[in-house]
Structure 1
Amino acid sequence: MKLKAVAKLILVGAGGMAVIAATGVWALSGGLYGCTRADEELAPTLASLSILDARPSQTQPQDERYSGCDEDDGFAYAGQYYRLTTSRAGVLNFYREAAREDGWRLESADSSPSPAPGSLAVDISALCFEKPLAGTTAHLAVWFPSDLGEDSDDFGVEVTASLDGTAWC
């Protein structure tokens, strides 16, 4: 009888340890924080989107296209910076049309989305679009670093999406 109780205790303990170990592996692999493998694999898909190549004829790409996965918030992203050589209004009008032609739906527009002094910048996109993509909703943002107080004559076009979490502009 004592042997049965000891065996039962060992089995329950081993099962409990297995659950704890599996939970730890899940948490460390992105279950609680960071990017999942699915979102990491989504980043190259976002980087290949033609909307990131669309630009007003007077503008020039700056640096290389970037992509990756945001470890803090767990979403894939890809984007491109351009030198602003036309008016801000011209850029916004161009992307309203280009995004619509590419199947994006305008979600929000704010021609001057500067955050209040001393506040945390949550959404500084001048234009935000959304579109179904790869089994999720992708978000396209057109934004200006100068809205964050930076001395910059660039603008950015960025796409975010997540298969396992939430993404936004």
Structure 2
Amino acid sequence: MKLRRVAVPVLVGAGGMAVIAATGVWALSGGLYGCTGDDQELAPTLASLSILDAHPNRTQPQDERYSGCDEDDGFAYAGQYYQYSTSRAGVLSFYRQAAVEDGWRLESTNPSPAPAPGSLAVDTSSLCFEKPVAGTTAHLSVWFPSDLGDSAGNYGLEVTASHDGFAWC
């Protein structure tokens, strides 16, 4: 009888500690915050998408292609910056056609996405497309740093997606 009085609390305590340890491992691996392994593995897939290589005449890639996983919001991303000497309208027209030809669906347009003075930038995408990639929905954004008061003559393409969280343009 005495053995049972000791064994039950020990077993319950050990089971509780196992649950706490498993929860800690889950939380640290991206369960509560950050990127999961699936989304970290998704970033190179996004970086290899052919749309990031597409650009109009009179534009040049600028810097290296980038990719990674956003630890704050838990989504994978990849992108490329370009320098252009054509018109902004020409850049947008090019991607309206090139993205659709590559299987992307136009989700939204915003010809002048600059935030109002003193407000936060919520969405700076001039064009936003979406398409299925690797079992999830990817979002392609065409945006201009000059809309945020930076780098006139440059634009960026960025693809975001997530298996385990939420991604957007």
TM-score, structure 1 normalization: 0.98
Q: Using the alignment, how far apart are the partners of 1:140 and 1:9 within structure 2?
A: 55
- Which letter maps to 2:11? L
- Give me the whole-angstrom Cα distance separating, in 1, the residues matched to 2:151 and 2:162: 31
**Alignment partners' CA distance in 2, 1:33 and 1:14:** 27
TM-superposition CA deviations, 1:21-62 (whole Å, max 9, x none):
110111011111111111111111000000000000110000
- Three-state SS of the structure 2 residue aligned to 1:81 is strand
Question: Take 1:84 and 1:27, find their aligned partners in 2: how far apart are those partners?
Answer: 44
Match of 1:53 in 2: 53
**Distance across 2 between alignment mates of 1:122 and 1:63:** 25
Pair 1:150-2:132 in alignment: no
Offset of 1:3 from its aligned partner?
2.0
Percent identity of equivalent pairs: 80
SS of aligned partner of 1:19: helix
2:37 corresponds to 1:72: no
State how far apart, in whole Å, the 2-side matches of 1:2 and 1:164 are: 49
TM-score, normalised by the number of residues in structure 2:
0.98
1:152 CA displacement: 2.8
Per the alignment, residue 21 of structure 2 pairs with 21
Which residue of structure 2 lines up, in the alignment, with residue 40 of structure 1? 40
Where does 1:1-169 land on structure 2 (aligned, <5 Å)? 1-169=1-169
* Whole-angstrom CA distance in 2 between matches of 1:118 and 1:33: 30
- Once superposed, what is the RMSD of the aligned Cα atoms? 0.8
Partner SS for 2:46: helix
Unaligned runs of 5+ in 1: none
Q: How many residues are paired up? A: 169
